[in-house]
Structure 1
Amino acid sequence: MKEKFLWGSATAAYQCEGAWDAEGKGPSIWDQFCHSEKNTTGITGDVSCDFYHHYQEDIRMMAKGGQNTYRFSISWSRIVPKADRVINEKGFEFYDKVLTECEKYGIVPNVTLVHYDLPDYVGDQGGWCWPDISDEFAYYAAAVFRHFGDRIPLYVTINEPTHNASCCYMVGNYPPNEQVNMQHFCECAYNMILCNAKAIREFRKLKLNAKIGLVHASCSAESVLDTPAHREAVENGDLFTNDWVLDPAIKGEIPQKLIDKVKASGIDLSFMKEEDRTLIRENTIDFLGQNAYSRLLVKPYVSGETCATVNNAGNNDGSGKAAKEGKTVKGWFESDTDPRVPLNPWGREIYPQCIYNTLIKRKQKYGDIPIYITENGHGAYDVADENGWVEDDDRIQFLHDFLEQILKAKAEGVNVMGYYVWSTMDLYSWINGYKKRYGLVRVDYEKGLKRIPKKSYYWYKQFIEEHQDL
């Protein structure tokens, strides 16, 4: 029987739950960061949109909007608050209530185990660079799998390994806020691969009637010119942002070309263990979550040190004239610009065709693996009228144009199984705080966290109704 196409939206625990220390929850690295002097904005996710106390209202609004699936994450530190590994049953009780609400409306849960918010005791040991993190993660994952079992049909191990590693150890805008520490970047990347494999090993032991996957941030690398040097830059861009995540997760192997190039870049790879090869080979994902925001546009490396740029709500005026997001990886590639392509207020390309190109490449390389578009959204300085209504035509256009490309790829044989708008409602956008809004539903932070559906919410509902035959 043909599975129904999933239409939904997505959030993440730290970004929406609030209740940061409620009912036995331990602090995460984001609580630690936001409460420290490193957080120069003073803005935190302590309350955010308080999904912890508004989950019934939020899930009901999803259902009224025609959505039949909800992607959310579990807070690791809500389940295992301390290094003693004692389970916090109150944490499980909260997510049980969320699942009950989803079941009430026939909403399929798609649940991520870690979405940036490691427990503080893991962070204190070195976070993603801690050699024992994969065993700690496997313990937590196994507890989640045993508790929820088949109530969750779609599990995700890690959200966006590439972006996570980049923000933590290249850009330095996410804790532990290290700038261009490429040794730590590579240790983090390897440990993420092991975390994914060890969690899947625990999952397989239980023989659940559920699937497990991983959510990947990066679209495929592209270039404006087709020369041998540009083709090499594209290959290097994909190795750096795509292949190190997807080849181990889907094919069970780390590309030798990647290992050779990383060694040639002066990285000490003594943390790689021969016995890990079997673990990685034998524990691969059932489905891929592909997030869709922008492509990596590259050109041949010419000069300069490794660096990365992101633009946040605090350091540009929202005009779209800020420096384009990008990176230089010494000896690998440099980011390029295409003056024909418009930028969003944060200097990121708006190029919907990138997701079509990416999906076609995924099929060419990985066959018919089921793919869910687990995030696709448009951050904006939303302006509400006196009633809180937001006429977000720019967001509607963005979603429409990306969906057009996604459905084109599906029609051409890519095994696309579902689509999630980022985000369900306005929420804490990491170091962008609450200026950068993605939600289909406005949250009025000045008036008791009142929820007000935006124009895009109703547009998405109609779009779903018009595409019920997928």
Structure 2
Amino acid sequence: MNGKVKHDFLWGTASAAYQCEGAWNEDGKGISTWDQFCHSDKNIKGLTGDVAVDFYHRYKEDIRLLKEGGHNTLRFSISWTRIIPDQSGKINQAGIDFYKNVIKECKANGIVPNVTLIHYDLPAWLENIGGYANPVFSDEFAKYCKVIFENFRDDIPMYVTINESTHNAYCSYLTGNYPPNVHDVQTLVQVCYNLVIANAKAICEFRKLNLKSKIGIVHTTNTVQILKDTPEYRIAQRRGDLFKNKWVTDPAILGKFPDDLFPLLIESGIDLSFVKEEDLEILKHNTIDFLGQNCYTRAVVKPYESGETNYYPNNVGAGQKTIEGYVVKGWFQTDVDPTTPKNAWSREIYPKTIYDMLMGIKKDYGDIPVYITENGHAMAEKPNENGEIIDDERIEFMKSYLEWLIKAENEGCNVKGYYAWSTTDCYSWINGYEKRYGLIYIDYENDLKRIPKKSYSWYRDFIKEHTEGK
């Protein structure tokens, strides 16, 4: 496949505060759920993001490397507890100043900031009173977002409310491997609802200021596909799509939950008494300007066979045979395509999913602007004898996905940007530091030295070759 994207296409990489910043207790920052979890006996690996890759002190170096790598944008997140450290609601000016400096450095280097307001790192005080499961979460989140909107205004051209509502909720309240480490399906459904309402309430605060900036949400998309075309498989496909995608994207874009979602939940024994008419009214009037899609793989499903509702992520390490997947009792469960390659963590590599997803968004939601806000390939890698990181496997992964993205863009999909995950190697949540995604290698043994990988140079050249006017 050949082709180019438009000259104003955004090319960059993505990161997240807890995964890269470090400085976990510096300059007035409060404690987040991940600080709390990582310093507890629940963290069996003992690895933390206390220092991570020290972006807090090295952001100028990292942003310079972005510019030299041909990027024109950076996706990063703001740490809620750097801005509002505790329950008092008092604003920490040092936190505001840090992010203003990051944004200033981005702009000086021709880098468009794309800023996420929560990327898993909920304040610990809020977690202690129920966190996402407490209906007060949506109001507290909106208050925090209001502080950001008022302090940064149009200096941030692209705001993202919430990163990956699905993955966040499922890991925290279904698998229980992310804090608060709970497995409870009834609580999970309320958490999902609260996240949807929180997004709408934040957008409501944003609209009051009449900013020129745009606001969106980042969803971790899994195009749901089936290996057999039968009525039973098509029902499983629809239910898989509700579970994986539509409970986030329909409210965010259309302003309402899917018509078939609540009846299915009630049929499954879920108590929906927490749903409020005034919340549904807020949804109607507070929809997004753009959709961010984190795209790694597809979801292959089949009709439900057996087992209790659960999510099985493969966080057990490279080379293990655990298959990443879901069981949703009475709805569907994960299927496996024996013909496709899998990565070292047994996740399917299926580049066409990015094309299928973009075409599906065009079909379901028209011309809403879409950004691929994450796409990347995990490896356990080390420098060779010359100190180089030859990550040809990552290059092949990115190239194959990008070719399908360009095809979709050339066929009229309104895709306007691509962010590789991630800028540098970083703290990969409960995987620690061995699971590397970065285009820039971090030498954790030698003062966190930055070493651009082969993929960094390849990406720079790809951008130049596949952008009109470059």
TM range (shorter): over 0.9
The answer as to whether partners of 2:7 and 2:468 remain within 8 angstroms in 1 is no
Q: TM-score, normalised by structure 2?
A: 0.97
Q: How many angstroms apart in 2 are the aligned matches of 1:388 and 1:245?
A: 44
- Of structures 1 and 2, the one scoring higher in RCO (CA 8 A, sep 6+) is 2
Shift of residue 3 of structure 1?
7.2
Shift of residue 251 of structure 1?
0.1
Partner of 2:297: 294
Shift of residue 387 of structure 1?
4.6
The answer as to whether partners of 1:162 and 1:218 remain within 8 angstroms in 2 is no
Partner of 2:3: none
Structure 1 runs (4+) deviating above 3 angstroms are none
3-state secondary structure, aligned to 2:150: helix
Letter in 1 for 2:288: I
Instruction: List aligned pairs for 1:69-468, cutoff 5 A.
Output: 69-179=73-183, 181-312=184-315, 315-316=316-317, 318-319=318-319, 321-468=320-467
Indicate yes or no: 2:68 matched with 1:64.
yes
Distance 1:3 1:156, change over 3 A: farther
Q: How many angstroms apart in 1 are the aligned matches of 2:297 and 2:175?
A: 18
1:316-353 Cα deviation digits (max 9, x unpaired): 3x23x512100100000010001101111111100011
Q: How many angstroms apart in 2 are the aligned matches of 1:84 and 1:118?
A: 15
3-state secondary structure, aligned to 2:277: coil
Partner of 2:13: 9
Q: How many angstroms apart in 2 are the aligned matches of 1:210 and 1:218?
A: 24
Shift of residue 257 of structure 1?
0.5
Indicate yes or no: 2:54 matched with 1:50.
yes
Q: How many angstroms apart in 2 are the aligned matches of 1:426 and 1:76?
A: 22
TM-align CA RMSD: 1.0
Q: How many angstroms apart in 1 are the aligned matches of 2:305 and 2:426?
A: 40
1:376-412 Cα deviation digits (max 9, x unpaired): 0001101212453210000000000000111111111
3-state secondary structure, aligned to 2:94: helix
The answer as to whether partners of 2:137 and 2:194 remain within 8 angstroms in 1 is yes
Q: How many angstroms apart in 1 are the aligned matches of 2:139 and 2:177?
A: 27
Letter in 2 for 1:244: W
Shift of residue 463 of structure 1?
0.3
> Unmatched 5+ residue regions in structure 1?
none
The answer as to whether partners of 2:255 and 2:283 remain within 8 angstroms in 1 is yes
Q: How many angstroms apart in 2 are the aligned matches of 1:277 and 1:119?
A: 26
The answer as to whether partners of 1:219 and 1:355 remain within 8 angstroms in 2 is no
Letter in 1 for 2:240: G
3-state secondary structure, aligned to 1:47: coil
The answer as to whether partners of 2:7 and 2:467 remain within 8 angstroms in 1 is no
The answer as to whether partners of 2:17 and 2:76 remain within 8 angstroms in 1 is yes
Letter in 1 for 2:439: L
Letter in 2 for 1:311: N
Q: How many angstroms apart in 1 are the aligned matches of 2:465 and 2:379?
A: 26
Identity %: 57
Shift of residue 46 of structure 1?
0.2
3-state secondary structure, aligned to 2:333: strand
Letter in 1 for 2:270: I
Q: How many angstroms apart in 2 are the aligned matches of 1:244 and 1:451?
A: 40
Letter in 2 for 1:168: S
> Unmatched 5+ residue regions in structure 2?
1-5
